[in-house]
A and B are shown apart, each in its own frame.
Chain A
């Protein structure tokens, strides 16, 4: 993508994004406006300074932005029911949402959640009252509960099994309502 400030979004790009993410034309233009408003440096990418609260992101371009947001669209119920095995799954399918959740833990993308990765997440979301050792115990216990094959890591399948138990409403938990 170019580096000129407030570059207009081309029609064909919108089409591509629409196919990839499933957002409607109107939503894409709206989100593009949002993207450019976040993009303070006006270089067509969002950098760390733009995302004040998310320190881990380096550079996000609009496609990446949309791709990520696409995960949060509510699940298309018809899609779920009539699964076309040959077509690629839309980004907001149930499996892809779970994969997204999994990747939030599995930072090094090795397909398993290790104790350290869990600790990092725990540190971020548990309050300051809890010490590191307690956190370590929590992480240990979490792995112990979910780890069925005993390798000390949580694989994607084990992760799915835990979340599919029914206590957590996956669809509710990983969707937001994108306004018109």
Chain B
């Protein structure tokens, strides 16, 4: 319904727009009056059309994705091609000629790079390099075999007369073979994406589709040159040059990519101050690596793939979490968008009478040979490979590998680039290429999933990696190196450990920020992530219950030695809540390990804070409004104390000391004996209220629990800064659980604000957690990032006067 009206609208827009294009000339020379508005189509023609087609493609995708039943059976790429058919039909009906096609320039320069960069950036490096041997064999030898066999067979068939009267020589057949031979990465991603086969199978096909560009480029250029030179001029020297050019193109392209990858990594090391546009570097430099390789007539795809693969680790480590997310999402958006546009235009390009040259023999035989030779090639090569593989590829996997040899837009782009002067039957070749592409993407795409299910191919594991798996994996890495060493051979693991050593000590040192280098331990990383996840769950759990209660574990005073600051604050800030009941069990229970860590974080942070300038410390721990005053306080007077009476006295003393230090800026003043006078209840209440307000903000009175006795206090040993008064024991002090100097703002707003924030903005990443934090035990003056969400309800002024008045 809606789509119909949309398409009609489309036609209405496109046709008159084309007509208008002509009438704009000479407009400026004969104006009779001042035009209020004028229609300046040619002014905006190119960018408008570009944007328009992007919009149309995306809208097409929107329509297609609306119904999941359809997309689970027919892959999205096939549907997009059909959408392209419809659009092409409409344009052709309007214009009688195909005005829009997928031109090679647009495709190779503006649409393909993003897809490949995305592929390289998200490539599982370890898996790739483990299977590199197999991938290379298939990419190089397999593609050459495909090209040669197809070209020769077709030529043979022509000689045999199966194709009627065609003017194609052997060299042209070989050229055609070379452009048809390559498995296309875009098509592979599009089809395999929804099938989820096991990792090894996927990486074999996908890796092959990426690396075979090296071969394709060489073969295409070589045969193109041969066709130009003509048959007689080809001698041994030319052939040798062809072989040499393969190595140059492939390795040169990879080298260019590597250089750019290293460049990106180095850059991200210094971009701390421009975090906003940090992500831009990756895109720009990736694109430049593509263009540079293209300029040097090396393999551009190889270049951008290796660029992405090389830099992924370092930029993920160096860049800010937000930037990493930005890169990830933006890359996916660009890649996906490009794919959409590519497939739509593949469809549109078909509706073009010029290329409708039909030769049954040629087309059908091409289809047949492409499929058959793919199967033969894959099975033969895998049979050889399996004798050298640790884990041989199963038969079913090989079937899928063969069936997954999809051709796509790259082949089409190359076909369109053929010179029609040299190759008379160019249109036939283009037509055939398109038909083969449609066959593979649509038909093979649709049947891929049922085939995978029917053959019971091993699927990808979807479960989360547990700690034990990661641990065992790592342990075995070491074990295997040891065994290889013992049995006296240089094996895979030996090389891998050597590389790892080199990488950790040299490359990381140069390319990674020092702070990032510290965080590289894998097992710890998993643990850290799991803890964060736990923490987030607890916070939301606590929120659901309506309060953030906490129970302090008095026994845990453990010293973290080297945890990096930001990490500790992340975790610390993420979770200040615990289940009451859970604390009763000891070490086997998961919660204590998390709470223990939280607790340790606090302790560590607190102790760290002690170590730093008191002035700085105060800035962090008192409220914003207090910044105007110079504050000092003494740390040396807090003791562990459980006795109520003594606690009261200590409270008085410390209060006095603190307030004294506000005025006199002296530290360690001995409390005068007059303090005894103040032990009456009402006098206690007042300073408490005042001070509580001063430290906790203006809503002091309204917050519950303030009137109750602060007197009962349990200390944590070593918690120097803690004021016993503000460390109430249990339940009645729900809202006062956090010692105020550890809280950035008043309890009310901080505690309650947390819940609002948690409900509204559920934390997903560590960076989000920072924003959540009511507690920030930072010794850096980074007030802003925690206070940004906290409503500033602190009205300070009359209170400080009260304090002074008290004296």
Contacts and interface: CB of A to CB of B under 8 A. Distances in A.
Given A74-B391, A129-B524, A31 B475 contact: no
Contacts of B21: none
A168 B483 contact: no
Nearest to B600: A133
A175 B464 CA distance: 24
Nearest to A173: B476
B523 interface: yes
B593 A140 contact: yes
Given A126-B524, A130-B521, A137-B597, A69 B483 contact: yes
A125 B484 contact: no
A171 B458 CA distance: 15
A133 B560 contact: yes
A1 interface: no
Contact of A125 (B478, B492, B558): B478
B390 A104 contact: no
B789 to A, nearest CB: 30
Nearest to A66: B487
B468 A134 contact: no
Contacts of B475: 101, 104, 121, 125
B588 A140 contact: yes
B678 interface: no
B488 interface: yes
Interface in B431-483: 461, 463-469, 471-476, 478-480, 482-483
Contact of B523 (A69, A104, A126, A166): A126
Given A34-B488, A140-B588, A141-B530, A176 B469 contact: no
Given A34-B488, A133-B558, A137-B527, A176 B480 contact: yes
B487 A162 contact: no
Given A69-B483, A121-B475, A168-B472, A138 B391 contact: no
Nearest to A130: B524
B486 interface: yes
Interface residues of A, number: 55
Contact of A175 (B390, B523, B588): B390
Interface in A42-85: 51, 53-54, 69, 72, 74, 77
- The dominant DSSP class at the B interface is helix
Contacts of B86: none
B390 A144 contact: no
Contact of B390 (A74, A118, A129, A136): A74
B468 A159 contact: yes
A172 B558 CA distance: 40
Nearest to B596: A137
A131 B478 contact: no
Interface residues on B, range: 35 or more
Interface in B751-779: none
A144 B590 contact: yes
Contact of B493 (A77, A154, A169, A176): A176
Nearest to A100: B479
A90 B641 CA distance: 66
B468 A145 contact: yes
Given A134-B563, A163-B472, A31 B487 contact: yes
A146 interface: yes
A125 B487 contact: no
A111 interface: no
A131 B561 contact: yes
Contact of A104 (B479, B485, B587): B479
Interface of A: 31, 34, 37-38, 51, 53-54, 69, 72, 74, 77, 101, 104, 115, 118, 121-122, 124-127, 129-131, 133-134, 136-138, 140-146, 152, 154, 159, 162-163, 165-169, 171-179
23 contacts: A53-B485, A104-B475, A104-B479, A118-B471, A121-B475, A122-B471, A122-B523, A133-B558, A134-B527, A134-B597, A136-B587, A137-B596, A138-B524, A141-B467, A144-B593, A145-B467, A163-B468, A167-B464, A167-B469, A168-B473, A169-B391, A171-B391, A176-B390
- The list of the 6 closest CB pairs from A to B, nearest first, reads A166-B461, A34-B488, A142-B467, A137-B593, A127-B521, A133-B558
